[in-house]
Amino acid sequence: MMPDGKHGIVTGGGTGVGAKIAETLAHAGTRVTVMGHREAPLREVAGTVLWLCSDQALSVNGQALSLSGGEI
């Protein structure tokens, strides 16, 4: 199945398996958003995603929160 028009969001995408998934999606033509805690690895993966023929790359630096009972 080709990912035409699809947008993948990869959490933990700055290193390891997440980075490889982001690269694989980009190589297949998917637009990719890479999320993680450390900015430097995210920027590196975003650069690789752009190089792999994806027309856009976006990296998001942040922290995931767990909501329980409507409270943070």
Q: CA 59, CA 72: separation in Å to the nearest integer?
A: 24
Could you tell me the pTM of the whole model?
A: 0.69
Locate 50 and state its tokens.
């752009």
Closest CA to 42 of 8, 18, 6: 18
Helix (H, G, I), strand (E, B) or coil at 42: helix
pLDDT of 57 above 90:
no
Q: Pick the residue with more confidence: 56 or 30?
A: 30
Average pLDDT, the chain: 76
Looking at residue 18, its pLDDT comes to 92
Do 49 and 55 form a contact (C-beta atoms < 8 A)? no
pLDDT of 61 above 70:
no
Helices (H), 9-69: 16-27, 39-51
Out of 4-13, 17-26, 46-55, 57-66, the most confident range is 17-26
